[in-house]
Amino acid sequence: MFWVFLIFQAFTQGEPCTPQFSLTARPGSLTVHLSGDHSLAQEYGAHVKHRIYLGKKGESLKEHSDAASSLTIKELEEGQQYCAKVQYVTLLSNDTELSSCIQCESIPFSAGSKEKKITAGVFTILLIVILIVGIVYICIFHRRTIKHWMQPPCEIPVVFLQPISGKHKSPLISSPVDEQCDVLSIIESE
């Protein structure tokens, strides 16, 4: 009966979205600012927490975490819109009460990361252009030098560099040797 009274009291005081909270978006993070000024805090003290639900806009909200005070949620996608909803949770019975309205906030892009991406892209494109121009220049104007470097070295064997003397006879200059052959006779049998 007490809960019905609290819900009725919240609606009659012009606060249909209880608990009240606000969102602050920063690049890559979203801070949920929670208000500890509510009647459940007075009754239950430290046994009341806020349950935060989070999700991208258009998707269902999923339970993220319980918190007693403000909570910063990190590692969110920049440029996406995230929505949050908060409920009171009594720790004694783990019941959820009084669901808040859903609030959405867009996560801004960080100026530094955008500039870094642009700088890296321009640097990469510039480097590729310089490499292509350099390779084309070398291929066109230094073709002969490249061919010269690519030729295998021409070395004369050491044997051909030694002077010819009488001691060494070249096989081409030597006189033919008479060969001795066996005489074969043909014997015919009758």
- Render pLDDT for 54-91 as a digit per residue (tens, 0 to 9): 999 989 888 888 887 888 989 888 889 999 998 888 77
Percent of the chain with pLDDT over 90: 21
**Pairwise CA distance, residues 92 & 42, whole Å:** 15
27-31, 126-130, 168-172, 183-187: which has the highest mean pLDDT? 126-130
**Has residue 166 been placed in a domain?**
no
Instruction: Kindly report the CATH number assigned to the domain that includes residue 41.
Output: 2.60.40.10
Please tell me the pTM assigned to this model.
0.51
Retrieve residue 24's tokens. Answer: 């602050």
Residues 104 and 14 in one domain: yes
Percent of the chain with pLDDT over 70: 72
Q: Does the pLDDT at position 108 exceed 50?
A: yes
**Has residue 159 been placed in a domain?**
no
Q: Does the pLDDT at position 169 exceed 70?
A: no
**Has residue 185 been placed in a domain?**
no
- Count structural domains, the chain: 2
Average pLDDT, the chain: 78
CB 23 within 8 A of CB 84: yes
State whether the Cα torsion 138-141-143-144 is positive or negative: negative
